[in-house]
Structures are given as C-alpha cells and as structure tokens.
Amino acid sequence: METFAAIEEFVRDHWDVVLDEPFMLGLEVPVGDSGRRQSVFLAELKNQDGRRFLRIETTVAPLAEHSSEKCLRVNLMLRTGYLAVGDLEGVPFIKLCENMLYSPTMSKHLDYMIENVAELGDKIEVTLTKGGDWF
C-alpha cells in the first residue's frame, strides 16, 4: 500500500470506520473480552523529503493528571509506539502513537499495529484513569 486511498480501502474491509476525513480515519477497535472499545485514528504524514508515513494513534488520558517525566520514562519501556502529547479541544492529552512508512508490504503489518495500539492504549488508559474509559 503506497497511497492513503489504498490504506483506506484496506481498513474499511477490516475495521469499523466511524470518522472519515481527507487523509484521516477514525476507528472503533474492540479490545479485551469485556466489550471495551478503543478509538484509533489513522492519518497521513509527510516528512521533509516527501516520504509518506501512516500515523496510528489513540488518546489515553489527560496530561494534567500525570507526570510528563513518567510518560517519557514509559517511552523507554515501550517496544512499539511512543507516548506523545496532543490537544483535544484545547486540553493536552497523552496519546500512544506509531508511525509506519508506506510500503508495498504494509498490509501484512497494518492490522497488527492497529490492534497493538488499541490494546496497549486501552491498558495505559485503564491504568492512568483507574479503570475509566475516556476513549
């Protein structure tokens, strides 16, 4: 998959798309056995030399309630993905993100990465919000 259109077609065949905007999709991904779902967003990014990446992200908790230093320390323990901060309606939130370079073999890994970001994001959300379900 080397275009966002190809990614969108693949994702629509495999996932429940709840948000569709140019170069961005929102998904509701089932996690665990309890019926929980995690919102995951896919967006196209370009770097300085024009290479395209797919960002997979999920929002996990408000930043104000947590130590930024601890979030950075968690990044050292993550095997895939990274924690970042993004605003949601003007409020800073912790996000779990993963960037994938567009490639012809991307479809082999995309489902895994969506599931991984959703499940890990949900676990982090449960931990940080003491069982809450914000997203």
The mean pLDDT of 110-128, rounded to a whole number, is 90
Instruction: Summarize pLDDT for 50-75 with one digit per residue, the tens.
Output: 999 999 999 998 998 888 888 888 88
Give the separation between CA 135 and CA 121, rounded to whole angstroms. 9
pLDDT-above-70 percentage for the chain = 96
Domains of the chain: 4-128 (3.30.1460.10)
| % residues pLDDT > 90 (the chain) | 61
Is beta strand 82-88 parallel, antiparallel or unpaired with respect to 52-62?
Answer: unpaired
Predicted local distance difference test score (pLDDT) of residue 131: 63
Q: Average the pLDDT over 106-126 and give the result.
A: 90
Q: Is the pLDDT of residue 130 over 70?
A: no
| Mean pLDDT within 19-46 | 93
CB atoms within 10 A of CB 71: 19
Q: Does pTM top 0.75 for this prediction?
A: yes
How much is the pLDDT for 135? 53
Biggest CA–CA distance in the chain, Å, is 44
pLDDT at 49: 94
- Picking from 105, 104, 100, the residue whose alpha carbon sits closest to that of residue 43 is 100
